[in-house]
Each structure stands twice: as C-alpha cells, then as structure tokens.
Amino acid sequence: MASFLAIAKIDVMNAKREKEMMKIREEFPILDQKINGEDLVYLDNAASTQKPRTVINAIKNYYENDHSNVHRGVHTLSVRATEAYERARQKVTEFVNSPNKHQIIFTKGTTESINLIASSVTNLIEKNDEILITAMEHHSNIVPWQELCKRTGATLKVIPISEDGDILMDKYREMVTNKTKLVSVVHLSNTLGTINPIEKIINKAKSHSAITVIDGAQAAGHIPIDVQKLDCDFYLFSGHKIYGPTGIGVLYGKEDILNKIDPYQYGGEMILKVTFDETTYNDLPHKFEAGTPNIAGAVGIGASIDFINSLDRDLCHKHEMSLHDYAMDKLERIDGIRIIGRSSNKSAILSFVIDGMHPHDIGTIINQKGIAVRTGHHCTMPLMDFYEIPGTVRASFSIYNTHSEIDKLIDALKLAIKMLKQ
C-alpha cells in the first residue's frame, strides 16, 4: 500500500511538472507537425535541439532590421550589427561566468573550437609530450589531437572507461605525468550520457601544469557552466545544441593562454596593422575571429541564452531525468534490449542495442511512426569498438518531450522488433 501511494505521488508530481513543461513546448513551432501521418516525436536532441520562437524571431528581426557587416563601419546599420554581435558575446560571457568578454571567441561550433586549439597550441607541444583524451570522445575530440601529434611527434593516450561508461579515474591519475601537456575531455558523453567528473580531471591535470580542454557540446544546454569555478583553460560548446542556430559556437579560453598561442586563421578582422613586410595581430577576441563572422548566428545564440535564462533549470533537469528514467524502465522490460551507458551520474541520453537487429533498421521503421531517434556510431567509433557493437539506437530527451511520447517510442520499438523477427 505504501509503495502504491509513493508511485501515485510520483505520478502526480510528474503530471504537474509536465503541465508546466507543456507551456514551454508551445514555444517550439516545428514540433506541431505530422511525419508519415503521425505526430512528430522528436527524440534526437543530442544531435540538435529544436528552436523556440524567440530564437527564430531574433534572427529574422536581425536580418529584417539591423544587418550589415560588423566593426569598422560608421553607418547606423553597421553600428547596430556590431552592437548586436557584441551584446551576444556579453550574454555568453555571463552564461559561462567568464571573467571577461574578450575571452569568448565565436567559432562555427565545438568542432571548430577544438580544431582552433589543436592548431594554435602547436608551438607549445613538443616531441615526446603526451596528450590525454578518454575512450568516450566524439571524433571531433580525437582527430584534431591525432593531427597535432603527427605534426609535433607527441603521443596521444586514451584514458580507459568501465563497462558502465565511467572514466577509470585511478587509471587517469596514473596516466598524468610530467610528460602530459594537454588533457581534453568531454563533459557529457553524446553516446553514453555520462557526466564526467571534470572538476577532478581538471585539478589533476593542473597539478602537472597540463592544458585542460573541456568539450561542453552536450553539457552546456543541461548543466550550468562556471568556467572560473572549473578553472579549465578552455571550455567549448555549440549554439545548435542549446536551442540556438547551427553554424555558431563558442570557445572560452583563459586570457594568458589565448595570448600565448598562435592565431588559427589569418585575414581581415584579426589584424592590428598590415604592411607587405609584416603584420601585427589584433587583441582578443579578434585575434581568433578572422573574416566576417556569423553575426546572425551570434544574435541567435544570444537569444537562445535568453531563452535558457528564462527557464527554471532545476525543473527542466527534473523533467528530462524523469523522461530518461521512465524510458529506461520501459526499455528494460523488452526482451533483447541492452542499454549502453549505465553511469550513476548521467544525463537524459539513452543508447541501446537490440539483439540481432541493426540500429539503422530500427530507426527507419520507427520513423514510419513519426519517431525521430539517432542511429549509428554517433561519431564515436572507438567507443563502438569498445562495446563490440556497430552502433546504437539513441533517444535523447529535451524539455519539450513528454511521457506519452516515450510510450509511443516503446510501442513503435515493440512493433519494429516483431516485424524484423518474422
């Protein structure tokens, strides 16, 4: 009786929370549509979140009223565009609690941010130095470091993980030595959902004066970020995973290291003085923003930060985790399903495989029911090798998803399994 009452209480809490969240869902016009004759169930939020009206309108408004090129213009539109662009930088500064606005560099996204660092730190890395990453990294946090190692003669080392999908911290502590020059780790795994203990990772790396890079692509939309508290050298994320537009990303860097490393690209905007004999580079952040930037993208990411700031983030987190736990419970009742990623500290990402069935076939079939999930290796091929699987089905939840959408996912999966087993 007591447990029945407890479950009933949780159901009431979930229902109340979901009612609140439904007001937010109405802000996302794309969700109100049919796919293959069925209501869209969008569970591919780790790949890209959908955009609220405020973000769409901010970009539209910018192009309709304020667009021109930024900086150096004396006319009104250029001043307005510059103000909008720099206002967005200020919003990002506050969003991650950067000590200064000029430590925020706009990039195309997390991938470009990592490439920028891997390219620009070349002068700080020497032969026989070591760069550490984890076994759960996205390709974008593997390949740029492989290339850096090729250029410099440094060695790339991989911190192992457990079967549950947690970094083996004892192994990590053993791996950090005086040879370690850089540690680059994902904050929240896009495949496993694991939230890594980055504070401990950063502290250990700093005890050996290694540069610390945190890939926050998945985390920034779900976890409040305080770069000063983290004390990392770099923190990176993308606009399109935090309800903002594609093609815009952020690189936060510590001032001393940003001043120490080389520019990434060369040309307009990033210079102070150019003669045919020599060039003097501009101050931060312009040193790393060659060419005309993605102004509308910056306006969009600024609007997405305003949107996030308008939310009750604790309520959002509880809602997303309620969806995750509900889906996990239902999935585990289906024969042949194996969950990939069982960390005790995870976010609302659920990866799974089904015995004898290929993720792509499952994804294609449930799309007939309007359900959008991501299938495949999720740009983590070495992680797939670790689990000895070709790929997974990944359902990733956001603030606008509902428990009834999980029910639809489960029903569609059961039908797909029945169909493929025949």
Partner 1 sequence: MTSNLYKNQLIELSHNPYHFGKPEKIFSSNEALNPLCGDKITVYQSGDSIQDIDLWFESVSCIICSASASILAQNSEGMDMNDGIEFMKQVETALKDGTLLDHNLPKALNCLGEINNYPSRITCATLPWSTAIELLQ
Q: Residue 159 forms beta bridges with which residues?
A: 134
According to the binding rule CB under 8 A, does residue 422 interact with partner 1?
A: yes
Which residue in the block uniquely carries the two structure tokens 């952020």?
Answer: 250
- State the minimum distance, in angstroms, from the CB of residue 376 to partner 1: 4
Nearer to partner 1 by Cβ, of 209 and 422: the residue is 422
Per-residue contact track with partner 1, 4 to 43, x per CB under 8 A?
A: ----------------------------------------
Alpha carbons within 13 angstroms on the beta-carbon side of residue 285 total 22
According to the binding rule CB under 8 A, does residue 376 interact with partner 1?
A: yes
DSSP tag of 194? B
Size of the site for partner 1 (CB under 8 A): 21
CB atoms within 10 A of CB 362: 23
**What three-state secondary structure class fits 189?**
coil
- State the minimum distance, in angstroms, from the CB of residue 385 to partner 1: 9
In this chain, which stretch among 69-77, 110-118, 231-239, 413-421 interacts with partner 1, using CB under 8 A? Answer: 413-421
Per-residue contact track with partner 1, 377 to 406, x per CB under 8 A?
A: x---x--x-----xx---------------
According to the binding rule CB under 8 A, does residue 416 interact with partner 1?
A: yes
As a dihedral over the C-alpha atoms of residue 132, residue 253, residue 258, residue 88, rounded to 10 degrees, the angle is 150
Nearer to partner 1 by Cβ, of 346 and 408: the residue is 408
Give the burial string for 51-78 (b: 16+ CB within 10 Å, else e): bbeebbebbeebeeebbebbbeeeeeeb
Question: Of residues 149, 232, 316, 379, which has the active-site annotation?
Answer: 379
Nearer to partner 1 by Cβ, of 82 and 375: the residue is 375
Distance CA 23, CA 183 (A): 41
According to the binding rule CB under 8 A, does residue 295 interact with partner 1?
A: no
- State the minimum distance, in angstroms, from the CB of residue 405 to partner 1: 17
Selected binder of partner 1 within 245, 263, 297, 359 (CB under 8 A) = 359
Q: Are 333 and 327 in contact (CB under 8 A)?
A: no
Nearer to partner 1 by Cβ, of 9 and 414: the residue is 414
In terms of Cβ atoms closer than 10 Å to its own Cβ (0-12, 13-18, 19+), residue 278 is: exposed
Distance CA 391, CA 384 (A): 6
- Strands across the sheet containing 234-238: 104-107, 249-253, 234-238, 211-215, 180-186, 130-134, 155-159
Question: For this structure, is 379 an active site residue?
Answer: yes
Question: Could you say which residues in the range 150-209 bind partner 1, by CB under 8 A?
Answer: none
Q: Residues with catalytic annotation?
A: 379
- Positions touching partner 1 (CB under 8 A) are 358-361, 364-365, 368-369, 375-377, 381, 384, 390-391, 412, 415-416, 419-420, 422
